[in-house]
Structure 1
Amino acid sequence: MRLVILDRDGVINEDSDEFIKSPDEWIPIPGSLEAIAQLSNAGWRVVVASNQSGLSRKLFDIDTLNAIHDKMYSMVNEYGGVIDAVFFCPHAPKDHCDCRKPKPGMLEQISQRLRIELNGVPVIGDSLRDLQAAQAVNAQPVLVRTGKGTETLYKGEGLEGVPVYCDLKQAANALLADKLLENI
């Protein structure tokens, strides 16, 4: 099974320092939905792993989060793609849970549920915490410059050996061409 794990905010959709609190605020990054469709149509299982502390902060409830994800699923489906699963951490940083990235708990849950080792599995994110979670489970971290990606790249911490792409579309094209690591 070929698996790719995507962060949500800043990778698939526009990010906001004020959080994505409603389906109306969920706006796809140009090319991201097509990229997911290309990957899923090429036999990749696409899974989303996202910190969603807005739940713990009471900025939105689980029904609203489900509505946001329903919009995401529907829009990806319009392009002929499929998101196989969405995993999320509902906790705030102060909760010190094991599932909030950069801790690896959410990725370990994905591994257990899908019964797949994550060694070398691409994990595409826009923040250092996405990359650190990937590294913790021996997955292949990939940085995109969308969302907080340019800021993450500018800081330069923990980026040794991490391929960097402009956006999810470019990263997906590299995956599909088996050239993911050529853009280091």
Structure 2
Amino acid sequence: MKKRIRGIIVWDFDGVLFDIERFRKNAERIFEKHGVPSAVFQAVILRIRKDGGQFSVARAIRIMRSLGVSVKERAIRKTLHNHLAITRYFAAPIDIFLRRLRNLGFMHIILSLGASSYQHKKIRVGCGKKFIRHFIKISTTKKPKFIYLKKLARKYPHTIIFFIDDTKKNLELVKEYVPEIVTIHYSIILGTSLKNLEKKILSHVKK
């Protein structure tokens, strides 16, 4: 007998499932190890934030080169890849939480903002196969997230869809353009309670 789908949960990745702040700090050390001064890395991060974008290795290196900084790209990428393979940036309670919701009949999707190749590699290498199994799909986009979510809502018109993100602007746009989707603000950095998150999700679903 086919299991009833109780809902679809679309998760942002950086800052929600993945501790992006800790990763940036470690990335800074790796860049510094390969000759990029910490002050330069910090200047790049400030510029990315000012532009309203997401941190990525390609973007950081591009900005550094525009500033005339010599960057050993191949060596940096190799070190970062090896680092991601042995360092976990998601907390164990998240893994348990995702499994619990799956057992309750929810489907999980990752929707991450950024360059496809970089984000997919970071997700798959940085999280591992066991964690990835929780998700029926991993999607990346450079467009506003509500565009993807609008298509998803059309595909599943009779299924409740949740969108969980740590950026209020993303949530506000979804509320405006896809009001049928339930938006929830959650941040791994702020230490939001998973118990409260579960209560919010289940309060919208019929038993």
Tell me the TM-score normalized by structure 1: 0.61
Q: Which has the higher contact order (CA 8 A, sep 6+)?
A: 2
Deviation at 1:133, TM superposition (A): 3.6
Aligned residue in 1 for 2:40: none
Q: What pairs with 1:61-72 in structure 2 (closer than 5 Å)?
A: 62=117, 64-71=118-125, 72=127
Partner SS for 1:84:
strand
Q: How many residues align?
A: 140
2:70 match: none
Matches within 5 A, 1:37-76: 37-52=99-114, 55=115, 62=117, 64-71=118-125, 72=127, 74-76=129-131
1:134 and 2:174 matched: yes
Structure 2: distance between partners of 1:118 and 1:26: 36
Q: Which has the higher helix share?
A: 2
Kindly report which structure 2 residues correspond to 1:19-98, keeping only aligned pairs within 5 A, or say none. Answer: 19=55, 21=57, 24=84, 27-52=89-114, 55=115, 62=117, 64-71=118-125, 72=127, 74-76=129-131, 82-89=134-141, 91=142
Structure 1 position 12 matched with structure 2 position 17: yes
Runs of 4+ in structure 1 off by over 6 angstroms are none
Contact 1:34/1:76, CA 8 A, preserved across alignment: no
Choose 1 or 2 for highest CA Rg.
2
Is the 1:144–1:171 Cα contact (8 Å) retained in structure 2?
Answer: no
Q: Give how far 1:117 is off.
A: 2.7
Using the TM superposition, give the Cα deviation of residue 37 of structure 1 relative to its aligned residue in structure 2, in angstroms.
1.2
Within 1, Cα distance between the matches of 2:113 and 2:178? 17
Report if aligned partners of 2:108, 2:135 keep a CA contact under 8 Å in 1. yes
* Structure 1 gap segments, 5+ residues each: 56-60, 92-98, 151-164
2:195 maps to: 170
User: Take 1:31 and 1:109, find their aligned partners in 2: how far apart are those partners?
Assistant: 31
C-alpha displacement of 1:7: 0.8
Q: Quick one: distance in 1 between partners of 2:13 and 2:159?
A: 21
Q: Is the 8 A contact 1:48 1:83 kept in 2?
A: yes
CA distance in 2, matches of 1:20, 1:27: 16
- Is the partner of 2:20 in helix, strand or coil? coil
Q: Does 1:146 align with 2:188?
A: yes
Percent identity over paired residues: 11
Q: Is the 8 A contact 1:118 1:137 kept in 2?
A: no
